[in-house]
């Protein structure tokens, strides 16, 4: 079973939920940190490194001795990564998606592909948990190729994925082909607004999902009524407890700092398994 933890808004508690879910599982599992721009899961686990793997995408390398400056490659490139002024084109690696089109359209066979590094995958182990974390290189624009590479490492029966914030390409790359999405939100106007956007995306892709309300309060007149009206399952509520914030600040998982919350996450995992 593949479970993704996502949110729309950042800072609502995705990593907290993902980590504590992983620690509550009674079986070996993989935790995939797909928030490759800002991976944080490793901060909460004492891990032993296993291996590292550099991730690359193919980008064009132009042989100036063969190029006659016809400009067909730059005309073809949908991402404006090649700019030609009747000369050998200038290549902007940050714009390149690695589609290979320029190489195929070049009539002089002047373009070959070389591998360009976009980031690294670090695999480590902590008890039952194998953490697979993507880390995008600074200045690299496109996260999806690295996210796809992280997802390719999935091989255990239970997979928990920590998604990036937002609702655009990196989130979609993470959510494709998962069995269930846990959307973490808070009872604030910003969080509710972004939860609705995330639900739009999850429904568009056609995935099953449920909501976890973090920093829940008694007088929540935002998220709870919304979920009830929309008939969305509230899987769990994590109370607004300053001790949780303090343990989070230090990188200590809730269920280690405050064992009384262990049942909450065991039940959450159980509910997800039933719903998925």
Partner 1 sequence: MKEIVIISGKGGTGKTSLVASFAILAKNAILADCDVDAADLHLILTPTIKETHEFWSGYEAFIRQGICEGCGTCMDLCRFNAIKETKTPKGNYTYHVDPISCEGCGVCVRFCPKSAIEFNEQLCGKWMISETRAGMMVHAKLGIAAENSGKLVATVRQEALRLAKETKCEMILIDGPPGIGCPVIAAVTGASEVVIITEPTLSGAHDLKRVLDLTKHFSIPAFVCVNKWDICPDMTEQIEKQATSSGATILGRICYDNTVTQAQKEVKAVVETNAPSANDIREIWNKLLHHHQIEKEKH
- Site membership for partner 1, residue 92 (CB under 8 A): no
- Site membership for partner 1, residue 117 (CB under 8 A): no
Question: How many residues sit close enough to partner 1 to count as binding (CB under 8 A)?
Answer: 56
Q: Which is nearer to partner 1, 95 or 275 (CB)?
A: 95
Least distance from partner 1 to the Cβ atom of residue 69, Å? 20
Binders of partner 1 among residues 207 to 236 (CB under 8 A) are none
- Judged by CB under 8 A, the residue of 200, 263, 270, 273 near partner 1 is 200
Rounded Cα distance between 195 and 185, Å, is 7
Rounded Cα distance between 239 and 12, Å, is 13
- Site membership for partner 1, residue 53 (CB under 8 A): no
Burial of residue 258, with CB atoms counted within 10 A of its CB: 0-12 exposed, 13-18 middle, 19 or more buried: middle
Q: Which one of the spans 123-131, 165-173, 224-232, 263-271 is the region binding partner 1 (CB under 8 A)? A: 165-173
Between strands 234-239 and 82-83, the pairing is unpaired
- Judged by CB under 8 A, the residue of 94, 109, 115, 157 near partner 1 is 94
- Site membership for partner 1, residue 56 (CB under 8 A): no
Output the six-digit token pair for 13: 């508690």
- Site membership for partner 1, residue 76 (CB under 8 A): yes
- Site membership for partner 1, residue 258 (CB under 8 A): no
Rounded Cα distance between 151 and 130, Å, is 13
Cβ atoms of 119 and 39 within 8 Å: the answer is: no
- Judged by CB under 8 A, the residue of 121, 140, 158, 236 near partner 1 is 140
**Cα angle: 31, vertex 253, 185; to 5 degrees:** 75
- Site membership for partner 1, residue 248 (CB under 8 A): yes
Closest CA to 255 of 124, 158, 127: 127
Q: Which one of the spans 21-29, 95-103, 254-262, 263-271 is the region binding partner 1 (CB under 8 A)? A: 95-103
What is the contact surface with partner 1 in residues (CB under 8 A)?
8-12, 15, 35, 37-38, 40, 43, 58, 76, 78-79, 94, 97-101, 104-105, 136, 138-143, 164-172, 176, 188-190, 193-194, 197, 200-201, 204-205, 245-246, 248-251
């Amino acid at each position: 079973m593949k479970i993704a933890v996502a949110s729309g808004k950042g800072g609502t508690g995705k990593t907290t939920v993902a980590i504590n879910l992983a620690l509550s599982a009674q079986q070996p599992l993989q935790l995939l940190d797909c928030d490759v721009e800002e991976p944080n899961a490793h901060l909460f686990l004492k891990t032993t490194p296993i291996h590292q793997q550099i991730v690359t995408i193919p980008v064009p390398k132009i042989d100036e001795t063969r190029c006659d400056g016809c400009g067909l490659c730059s005309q073809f490139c949908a991402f404006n990564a090649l700019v030609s002024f009747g000369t050998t084109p200038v290549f902007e690696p940050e714009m390149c998606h690695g589609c290979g089109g320029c190489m195929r359209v070049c009539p002089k066979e002047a373009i070959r592909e070389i591998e360009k590094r976009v980031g690294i995958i670090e695999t480590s182990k902590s008890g039952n948990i194998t953490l697979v974390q993507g880390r995008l290189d600074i200045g690299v624009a496109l996260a999806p190729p690295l996210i796809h590479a992280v997802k390719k490492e999935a091989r255990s029966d239970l997979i928990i994925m920590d998604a990036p914030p937002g609702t655009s390409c990196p989130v979609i790359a993470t959510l494709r082909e998962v069995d269930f999405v846990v959307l973490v939100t808070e009872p604030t106007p910003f969080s509710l607004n972004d939860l609705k956007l995330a639900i739009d995306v999850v429904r568009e892709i056609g995935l099953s999902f449920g909501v976890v309300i973090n920093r829940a309060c008694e007088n929540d007149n935002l998220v709870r009524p919304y979920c009830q009206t929309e008939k969305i399952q509230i899987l769990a509520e994590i109370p607004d407890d300053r001790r949780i914030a303090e343990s989070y600040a230090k990188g200590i998982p809730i269920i280690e700092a405050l064992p009384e919350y262990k049942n909450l996450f065991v039940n959450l995992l159980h509910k997800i398994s039933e719903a998925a």
